[in-house]
Amino acid sequence: MEKVKQKDLILYSGLIILGLAAPYLFSAFKVQLTYLCVLIVLAMTWNLQGGEMGYNTFGNILFYGLGMYLTASVQVGMFFPLAEWTESGGEKTFVHTTAQYFQGIGVGLLVAAIIPTIIAGAIGYAILGLRGHYFAICTLGLGIAAGEIAGGIEIIGAGQGFTTPPFPAEIVDAEARGKFFYFLSFALLIGTFIFVKYIYGSRFRLILNAIRDNEDKAEAMGIQTMKYKIVGWMCSAFFCGLAGGIMGGLIGYIDSTDVAFDGREMGVFMVLMAILGGKGTLWGPVIGATLFHFFKEGLWTLILGWQYVALGVLIVVIVVYFPEGLMGWLREKYPERFGEVIDEKDRKAQVELK
């Protein structure tokens, strides 16, 4: 046991060092690396519902979008009249001082973590009684509705969109902004990973798995499934809200349906990444998100105009050949490496059966 832990330690410290060094090693790729961190966070938190709890949610984009709008609104509203900032067409620009900018984004992110969590609790209470497809479809509606509603609220810019505060001009270093958002998202990634890893070692995960495998039985065993489902979703909402807040600041412009409540892209990607890597595993979503991001960044521009066709093909390939994701596939192929004990006779017997 001790030995394994030491190996883990090497792996983790290696990854952290790589993560910390990355913006200096690949300076030109800071924005993509920031996206990668956020994508991994989204995939990992989706995996809590979709993978561990067996509830395929398309609603996590709601928390992501909320976080985005909340962070930006707080960041502006703390120091300036928000309505004048976003006033359609007029859009006055007030200049944040360096201190105001960072205070604003700090408080904004705090709000972006808390409010989506509360909303997840409230919505979860209302709809987590639904199961299977019904839940999936219901959550699909959440993101779309939120996008349309946000597009009609004047104070956050409505259809005009919301330009988030520009990075303080007093900081002359053009790289500073990229670094700031990278480290912010990297910190979020580490926080999320530690949290999810903690969950993986806890009774909470077993309860989520029990809900996934047979909710009625779980309930019959005296588990208050509703409570755990809601808490699980609130955990995801917490991290999704933060991820959204960071992305809003990074992108610099929030559009209701294309950037914030972007169910068609981000909302689908988070599911896809988790499934690609292998849902229901700790590392699956991480690997899935990384592969997906590289695929997207590396190949999409080479096949201009055909990228969505390629994405479609990718989805088909994943579903047909890796229904359990890469981690699931590896596990099936090399079960020993995952610490599973295999009865050789049993395996041979299976082969002969074929």
Partner 1 sequence: MNKIAKLFVTFISAITLALVSFTSSFAKVEGEYIVLGSAISLTGKYSSNGVHTQNGYNMAVDRINKMGGVEVQGKKYKFEIIYYDDESNPKRAAQLAERLIKQDGVHYMLGPYSSGLTKAIAPVTEKYKIPMVEANGASRSLFTKGYKYLFAVLSPANQYLEVAIDLAVEKNGGKGVKIAQAFEQDAFSQDVRLGILDAAKRTGSEIIIDDKLPKELNDMAATLAKVKAVKPDVLVVSGHTKGALTAIRQISEMKVDVPMLAMTHCDAAKLSKQHGKKSEFALCASQWHKNLSYKDKFFGSGKKYAKDFQKEFGYDPPYQSAESSAALLVFKDAFERANSFDRDAVRDALVDTEMQTFYGNIKFGPGGQNVAKPMILFQVRCKGDDCENRVVAPTKWASDKFYHPIPKWSERS
Binding site for partner 1 (CB under 8 A): 4, 7-8, 10-11, 14-15, 18, 25-32, 35, 88-93, 148, 151-152, 158-161, 163, 166-167, 174, 177, 247, 250-253, 255-259, 262, 265, 283, 287, 290, 294, 298, 300-301, 304-305, 307-308, 330, 334, 337-339
Interatomic CA distance for residues 166 and 176, integer angstroms: 13
Q: At closest approach, how far in Å is the CB of 246 from partner 1?
A: 13
Interatomic CA distance for residues 71 and 23, integer angstroms: 24
Q: At closest approach, how far in Å is the CB of 40 from partner 1?
A: 13
Q: Using the structure block, give the residue that is written with the tokens 């991001």.
A: 293
Cβ nearer to partner 1, comparing 198 with 338:
338
Interatomic CA distance for residues 28 and 33, integer angstroms: 10
Angle at 182 between CA 177 and CA 184, to 5 degrees: 100
Interatomic CA distance for residues 216 and 207, integer angstroms: 12
Q: At closest approach, how far in Å is the CB of 18 from partner 1?
A: 7
Q: Are 140 and 59 in contact (CB under 8 A)?
A: yes
Cβ nearer to partner 1, comparing 11 with 194:
11
Cβ nearer to partner 1, comparing 198 with 294:
294
Q: Using the structure block, give the residue that is written with the tokens 């509360």.
A: 118
Cβ nearer to partner 1, comparing 128 with 247:
247
163 beta partners:
253
Q: At closest approach, how far in Å is the CB of 221 from partner 1?
A: 31
Give the closest residue to 108 by CA, choosing from 162, 164, 182.
164
DSSP 8-state symbol, 119: H
Q: At closest approach, how far in Å is the CB of 109 from partner 1?
A: 19
Q: At closest approach, how far in Å is the CB of 319 from partner 1?
A: 23
Cβ nearer to partner 1, comparing 215 with 262:
262
Cβ nearer to partner 1, comparing 28 with 320:
28
Q: At closest approach, how far in Å is the CB of 75 from partner 1?
A: 14
Q: Are 70 and 155 in contact (CB under 8 A)?
A: no
Interatomic CA distance for residues 266 and 60, integer angstroms: 10
Cβ nearer to partner 1, comparing 210 with 247:
247
Burial 155-179 (b: 16+ CB within 10 A, else e): ebbeebbbbbbebbeeeeeeeebbe
